[in-house]
Structure 1
Amino acid sequence: MSALTSVIGFPRIGSNRELKRSIESYWKGTSTLEDMQATARELRKKHWLLQKEVGIDLIPSNDFSYYDQLLDTSMLLGAIPQRYNRLSLDAEDTLFAMGRGYQGERGDVTALPMKKWFTTNYHYLVPEIDDSEEIKLNSTKPFDEFSEAKELGIITKPVLIGPYAFLKLARRPEGAPLTFDKGLVNAVARVYAQVLSRFAELGAQWVQLDEPYLVLDKSDGDLELFKSLYSKILPARDTEKASVKVLLQTYFGHIADIYETVNLFEFDGVGLDFVEGRDDNLAALKKFGVAQRTTIFAGIVNGRNIWRNNYADSLGVLDAVNQITDRVAVSTGCSLLHVPFSVEGENGLHPDVRKHFAFAVEKLQEINEIAALSELDEAALKDSRELADNQALFDGHRVETDSKVAKRIEALHHSDFTRLPERKERQAEQREELALPLLPTTTIGSFPQTREIRAERAQFRKHEISEEQYDTFIKQHIDGVLEKQERIGLDVLVHGEFERNDMVEYFGQHLNGFLFTKNAWVQSYGTRCVKPPIVWSDVSRAQPITVSWSAYAQSRTTRLVKGMLTGPVTILNWSWPREDVSHKLQTTQLALAIRDEVLDLEDAGIKVIQIDEAALREKLPLRRSDWHKLYLDWAIPAFRLVHSGVKPTTQIHTHMCYSEFNDIIKDIDAMDADVISFEASRSDLTVLDAIHDAHFETEAGPGVYDIHSPRIPSEAEIETRINEILDKMEASAVWINPDCGLKTRGDAETWPSLEHMVAAAQAIRARLER
């Protein structure tokens, strides 16, 4: 009999993004709430039955969400700020109001803050708890979905964000961390105890509590918080009426510094990540052993990359764990939410290439095969066809090294990473050269991509129209968006990026070394999905990428037009990276390719160049001791390599998305850009304190309104935001811009919002210049 198998979580968007389309149809009013609910039920059924057919023992439920699992947890606990309750909406619409804001007949509220989920490109909604909220069991969703699966003959393993992670990720209304007073801790623990008791009554055998925050460094009181919560929760698993096993699930790293305490609690299962936390988790097991009632759920199938699992490596890990305990289950390293649905249908990839990849569906089979192989003796393993076929993928070199790229990297000198003169001198030259007003206004880069634009691009891709016809179409849209920007008074314009399907895939299509999929979509936030390209081999620039479009746009206006590029760290972080060479090497290759593009833009007369590093913070290691040696010491130089060769008067911008910037603000300054724009509206501008305290030298544009919400901010609202920025920053160092690009918004909300932004900036500028 094979070892127990478990999946932490499964993608919920569907094989063809059915959930996205259903929800967006409901938002537009073209379908009903019942239609959306029916689509959700059908997807859950399909995914449960698929896992059952493969043979997974512990199939998750409640990993489904209309928007975000942590937002669902807030709903479950009744942590719903009063401004949303006052709207008097039903449960789904309240959830959507919290996720994306609401502007209508019932009121006008902004969305909850949105942050990156640890080191992934998935975003969660930050729970908000104030003193007026009563924490109580407020939703039946987890129980309803368990019962739904039970009617199909499947006893699932309900999954919930754990109480420790929930409280550590929650914030007070003003954005400050929670203080964990006894009343709050007891109330949260009481709800989770009720949840366990209810699942026991329903017939659940296992309940999974996700505690990824345990892999972070611990601050004062964290250990006591964890102990206080679980000492109250765990007794609920054992009652006179029924019992349920509790799996404490961790991922994204190791828990070596708290494993001893975890072990003392004798959870029925402890999920450990042996993909990202392998050595430290193994060391902790060896040092402290495994409690008598505990099964170790060994996370050995990577839930964050698409390459096939190396069975020999995974079997080695299982063997090491089995030497400590014989109670071992085979699991994913984290939820499969972070990978595409299935390789099936990716016929654009050659079979010799496609065989190297495993998406969510294929990873289910990997779990089962590894579990079965782990039960074989040495002789049987030698005769195993599954193991032999797998090892054939890893014997020898998959691709050859590009000697030209290797020689270029070898020739790099430390001067290639340093821009001269120093920033203050450059900024003075740029003010004279660019002649921009106080509080210059701009956007982040992209403008709405309509159905018409997407259809035209698809026709061009299918060779249904000529290149000349396509170019004419794109130029007409560039002309149109330039005219609109000039009309509303923006100071630094953009060409709109109408030729781009995606800020990463578009660049990959013009670089050597990348592969592309048809349908490998992954959820980023809400209904927003991305389709990352694949880094297959060494990377170099195949041809100029953006130069012709930027040069055309600049030729059509007397105002400055920004050249728009994606930076090397973001391209790698938002692609599927290689596993056979280091991230540092791949990023350096990308940096050289984008450097070529920067210099060509400058030669074409572009005086302002934005190099987006939206994902720089995203892959920062979770342990502070690893920040520099494992990441920043090569990520920051890679960005500097991109722009170090430009003239002093060429202004380099960068942009960063939803992340916590405060703790690396000095490293961001060390990127040596001239201007940075970043998300700030959903975080209540808390980054401004860090900018002030760090004596930040880079000019900055904290986003003054949230583009991920359909609501239109008023001019007065934006004036208030700008005044808050000016309380912490010198006006001469401030830019005015939205949070992010406008690609996913519609014209109906984009242009009124920008008009209000420009009017607010001009009003404050006039006041300052009196």
Structure 2
Amino acid sequence: MKSSNLGYPRIGEKREWKKTLESFWAGQIEETDFLAIMESIRLAHIRKQKEIGIDLIPVGDFTFYDHMLDTAVMFGLVPERFHHTGGEVPLSVYFSMARGSKDAPACEMTKWFNTNYHYIAPELNSRLRPRLIENKPLKAFQEAKAKLGIKGKPVLIGPYTFIKLSKGFDSKQLPALILLLLPLYEQVLQELEKEGAEWVQIDEPILVTSLAKEEMATIAFIYQKLNKAAPRLNIMLQTYFEAAEWYEELIELPVQGIGLDFTCSLEENSENILKFGFPSDKILAAGMIDGRNIWRADLAEKRKLIETIAAVVPEDRLWLQPSSSLIHLPITIKNEINLSPLLKHSLAFADEKLEEIVYLAKLFRGEIDQEDRYYQDNQQALRLLKNDASRYNHHVQKEQEKLKNERAERKSPYLVRKKRQKEVWELPILPTTTIGSFSQTAEVRKARQKLKKGEWIQPQYEQFIQQEIRKWIAIQEEIGLDVLVHGEFERTDMVEFFGEKLGGFAFTENGWVQSYGSRCFRPPIIYGDVEFLQPMTVKESVYAQSLTSKPVKGMLTGPVTILNWSFVRDDRPRQEVAEQIALALRKEVEILEAAGISMIQVDEPALLEGLPLKEEKKQEYLEWAVRMFRIVTSTVEDTTQIHTHMCYCDFSAYMHDISKMDADVISIETSRSHGEIIPVFEKETYDKGIGLGVYDIHSPRVPSVEEIAAIIEQSLQVLDVEQFWINPDCGLKTRGEEETIASLKNMVAAARLVRKRLDGKEPTVAEGRERNDSTKARK
């Protein structure tokens, strides 16, 4: 029995990866230094896995930004707007694809299955002619072998997953795209085989989604070709996040190993193996340890599960590994000094997960005894956590009991509320606003550190926050925004901030996880019942509203997003934990309303992130997730306008479910996906207020007035002007002050331009272009 890993966190114990990236982007280090530092980080990660004792170490899972982007670049799939003429893709183009540039919008960014990791979606079309520009898995294999003496397991995204997650083509083009890319994958494998690689891990998580059975014939064709191309190279076909949709067909594929997840889909995968067996000529890579949550594994339960599987699959044909790549976890618990001893002793981050894998493999190889200290320590930690009284709050549980018969509905239907809110607010058509946060400058971060270190007392910190609020209220008024926000300068992270003020949460010092690019966050730990303790946002919101006659939105993070962006206790159903969070947030909404804040935004960017990957399981999730939002917002008056925000989600597919949230106004992303959502409204009707994000906040580029006006006019072809709001596509926390102000000025100018056009006082953007072209032609 061997131990294996699927992928290791990139960011480094002290976020060295993130800091190196941002220093390079800021021009503080040269490209040669950047590459050297990244190499040292990459090799250190491989070396550490070897020291822990992992037998099959992944190589090629490291990236400068994103693994899907790496695959696109490897095959020369660079969109035309980036003006790449061929050959190896320079870092400038690579990062422009990820972040955008002055002349070219970035590629779309979206969620990796049902995780909080965002990937860059490749763009495929009939004009692109892919070719192997750089064999990245080969270079990673050669590097580990030459510099560390380690024969790694190269990792790459499988062809079917890569194509299915790409953009820019329709289903009719799928066969042609497969035939274009397959020879390149064959070349990658042939070069790995020639170099002496023994195993290659090909990730095909698309196989756990609800595929049509006919698709398995296409997948069989793909792997027949790949297996034949490099017959001496063993292919580990890796799935994760759910059970394989077509197990019987999967295990018959011409590969040498199959990787299955025995955490997210323990029952289904276990039943499949016991019912249908497993081929005697293949390796089973069993994902035994949870790669997405931070609780220690119950080694007694894992031992029994392995024994059950080993009754079908001989131990010498069994690999033990995490259920998925460990990029979804912090690196090590060893650097946490402020957690309670009981809680810290109950947690396992990436390194500790690998130690559990190695322990179990050694146990079944007969190298250690299950009565040893490591095993006993594990069992004692789990017992102490289970019996800890601080995790259970009877008052909260009684409140939950009362919710069972509550409908959680607003007092009046939307059309009644809309009329009353219009009378109260008297906003112009196409009202302008932002999503919530403003630039988190170095000064803001320093102030937070001073408070944390005791250099400032609370009144000093609050005075500083009020100073920032005053500054940005004045900036927003000068820009001309119609609905303002206080800027969220007191908040480190949109989930962490609320968790710190609620009961039942714990926090790490170094528990950083990558979300997208260099953006890292520290997910809170929900270890006990969640309880409202005191007002969380009222002071800053009321102060901001006192500075202006314009409406200022109160800003909350929604219950399902807090759930999905936290590490959640594993002894209670997730729905019950979300319900506790919703009850706590309802109290905050009621206090805000009583304090005079009558526009309240409850953000749910992760509501669809938690969707199950199987179609038959999605509706049940949507029903309770939507109910959680309504629990938070249903008790307010008709004149209180409830906003929400959702980003990088498949809004079009779930429009009717999202409408059931009954928010008065929703804002969603449009610009990063280049307006793909807009045509949907030609066929589908959304009957509430909606803001389609008119520019991409993840890019440093400042969009022009004409560019934004064009998006607004395109949207108005399918949306009623009375329902349309103008806003960026997400919060502005990560953007600099200068670019933020410039972009918002252009956004407001574009809204005013379109208002004048609607009054017949200005030509449309399209008409203006026609006039300019006509003038140039005459000249």
- 1:125 maps to 120
CA drift of 1:179 comes to 3.3
Counterpart in the other structure of 1:697: 687
1:213-262: CA deviation from partner (whole Å, max 9, x where unpaired): 11000147522321221121111231xxxx2111000001011x322222
Q: Is the 8 A contact 2:342 2:381 kept in 1?
A: no
| Cα shift at 1:701 | 0.4
Aligned partners of 2:35 and 2:157: how far apart in 1?
A: 22
| Residues 619-677 of structure 1, C-alpha deviations (whole Å, 9 max, x = no match) | 10011100122x22211111100011100000000001112222211110000110001
2:611 is matched with 620
Task: Report whether the alignment pairs 1:100 with 2:90.
Answer: no
Q: 1:164 aligns with which of 147, 157, 160?
A: 160
Q: How does 1:7-46 map to 2 (within 5 A)?
A: 7-46=5-44
CA RMSD in angstroms comes to 1.6
Q: Indicate whether 1:661 and 2:651 are aligned.
A: yes
Partner of 2:745: 755
Is residue 437 of structure 1 aligned with residue 428 of structure 2?
A: yes
From 182, 197, 208, the equivalent of 2:190 is 197
Is contact 1:573-1:619 (8 Å) kept?
Answer: yes
2:766 paired residue number: none
Q: Is 1:246 paired with 2:247? A: no
Residues 177/520 of structure 1: CA separation in 2 closer, same or farther (3 Å cut): farther
8 Å CA contact 1:267, 1:293 repeated in 2: no
Q: Decide whether the 8 Å contact of 1:171 with 1:178 is kept in 2.
A: no
Give the corresponding residue for 1:393.
381
Q: Provide the secondary structure at the position in 1 that maps to 2:672.
A: helix
Query: Are 2:456 and 1:457 equivalent residues in the alignment?
Result: no
Between the aligned partners of 1:138 and 1:579, the Cα distance in structure 2 is 45
Secondary structure of residue in 2 paired with 1:394: helix
> Which amino acid letter does the alignment assign opposite residue 129 of structure 2?
E
**1:69-99 residue CA offsets vs partner (Å, 9 max, x unmatched):** 0000101122111222448895222110110
Counterpart-to-counterpart distance in 2, 1:153 and 1:380: 31
Question: Following TM superposition, by how much is the alpha carbon of 1:691 offset from its aligned partner in structure 2, in angstroms?
Answer: 4.4
Paired amino acid for 1:24 = E
The corresponding residue for 2:503 is 512
Match of residue 489 from structure 1:
480
TM-score, normalisation: structure 1? 0.95
Partner of 1:291: 279
Note if contact 1:305-1:339 (Cα within 8 Å) is conserved in structure 2: yes
AA in 2 matched with 1:120: T
- Which residue is 1:569 aligned to? 560
The amino acid across from 2:531 in the alignment is S
Would you say the 8 A contact 2:224–2:254 is kept in 1? no
Displacement of 1:420: 1.3
Query: Which residue in 2 is equivalent to 1:83?
Result: 81
Cα distance change, pair 646–181 in 1 and its aligned pair in 2 (3 A): closer
2:225 matches 1:232? yes
Name the SS for the 1:560 alignment partner.
Answer: coil
Question: Does structure 2 retain, via aligned residues, the 8 Å contact 1:266–1:291?
Answer: no
**What SS does structure 2 have at the residue aligned with 1:461?**
helix
2:199 — aligned with what?
206
Q: Mind listing any 5+ residue stretches in structure 2 that lack a counterpart?
A: 761-779
Greater displacement, 681-690 / 522-531: 681-690
TM-fit CA distance, 1:194: 1.0
Paired residues for 1:78-477 under 5 Å: 78-86=76-84, 90-103=89-102, 108-151=103-146, 152-172=148-168, 176-219=169-212, 221-238=214-231, 243-255=232-244, 257-326=245-314, 327-375=317-365, 381=370, 383-395=371-383, 396-399=386-389, 400-412=391-403, 414-415=405-406, 417-477=408-468
* Structure 1 letter corresponding to 2:532: R
Letter matched to residue 408 of structure 1: E
Alignment partners' CA distance in 1, 2:212 and 2:704:
40
Residue 380 of structure 1: how far off its partner (Å): 5.1
Once residues 249 and 638 of structure 1 are traced to their aligned partners in structure 2, the CA distance between those partners, rounded to angstroms, is 35
Measure the CA separation in 2 of the matches of 1:413 and 1:389.
40
The range that moved more, 179-188 or 318-327, is 179-188
SS of the residue corresponding to residue 306 of structure 2 reads helix
Q: Look up the equivalent residue of 1:467 and give its one-letter code.
A: Q
CA distance in 1 between counterparts of 2:461 and 2:677 reads 42
Query: Structure 2: how far apart are the matches of 1:86 and 1:192?
Result: 22
In structure 2, distance between residues paired with 1:199 and 1:568: 47
Change (3 A) 1:94 1:179: farther
Give the letter for the 1:727 counterpart: Q
Residues 73, 89 of structure 2: 8 Å contact kept: no
Match of 1:700, SS?
A: strand
Name the SS of the counterpart of 1:264 in structure 2. coil
Amino acid at match of 2:241: F
Instruction: Give the distance between the partners of 1:734 and 1:537, measured in 2 at CA.
Output: 41
SS of residue in 2 equivalent to 1:285: helix
Identify if the C-alpha distance between structure 1 residues 599 and 205 changes in structure 2 by more than 3 Å, giving closer, same or farther.
same
Q: Secondary structure at the match of 1:393?
A: helix
| 1:170–1:178 CA contact under 8 A, matched in 2 | no
CA shift in 2, pair 1:275/1:691, >3 Å: farther
Determine what percentage of the aligned residue pairs are the same residue.
44
Report if aligned partners of 1:185, 1:228 keep a CA contact under 8 Å in 2: no
Aligned-pair CA distance for 1:695? 2.1
| Separation of aligned partners in 2, 1:79 and 1:285 | 39
| Distance (whole Å) between structure 2 residues aligned to residue 374 and residue 302 of structure 1 | 19
Q: Which amino acid aligns with 1:144?
A: K
CA contact (8 A) 2:433 2:481 kept: yes
- Aligned residue in 1 for 2:532: 541
Distance in 1 (alpha carbons) for counterparts of 2:16 and 2:233: 34
- Paired residues in the alignment total 753
8 Å Cα contact 1:81-1:128 kept in structure 2: yes
SS at match of 1:247: strand
- Structure 2 partner of 1:610: 601
What SS does structure 2 have at the residue aligned with 1:15? coil
Distance verdict in 2 for CA 1:375–1:220, change over 3 Å: closer
Which stretch of the first structure deviates more once superposed, 195-204 or 55-64?
Answer: 195-204
Q: Which residue of the partner structure matches residue 520 of structure 2?
A: 529
The separation in 2 between residues aligned to 1:532 and 1:545, in whole angstroms, is 18
Aligned to 2:673: 683
Task: Give, in whole Å, the separation in 1 of the partners of 2:85 and 2:630.
Answer: 48
Question: Are the aligned partners of 1:266 and 1:293 in contact in 2 as well (CA < 8 Å)?
Answer: no
Q: Secondary structure at the match of 1:682?
A: coil
Give the Å deviation of 1:511.
0.5
Q: 1:168 is matched by which residue type in structure 2?
A: K
CA displacement at 1:349 relative to structure 2: 1.0
Alignment of 1:663-742 (within 5 A): 663-742=653-732
> Which string of whole-angstrom CA distances, capped at 9 and with x for unpartnered residues, describes residues 377-417 of structure 1?
9x954x34333322223334244420110111112254451
Residue 334 of structure 1 aligns to a residue whose secondary structure is: coil
Alpha-carbon distance between aligned partners in 1 of 2:175 and 2:328, rounded to the nearest angstrom: 35
CA contact (8 A) 1:274 1:317 kept: no
* Cα deviation code 1:536-570 (max 9, x no counterpart): 11111111000010000000000000000001111
- Cα deviation per residue 1:462-512 (whole Å; 9 max; x = unaligned)? 221122211111111101101110011100000000111111101111111
Would the alpha carbon gap of residues 220 and 291 (structure 1) be closer, same or farther in structure 2, given more than 3 Å must change? closer
For 2:632 and 2:306, the matched residues in 1 are separated by 43
- Superposed displacement of residue 191, structure 1: 1.1
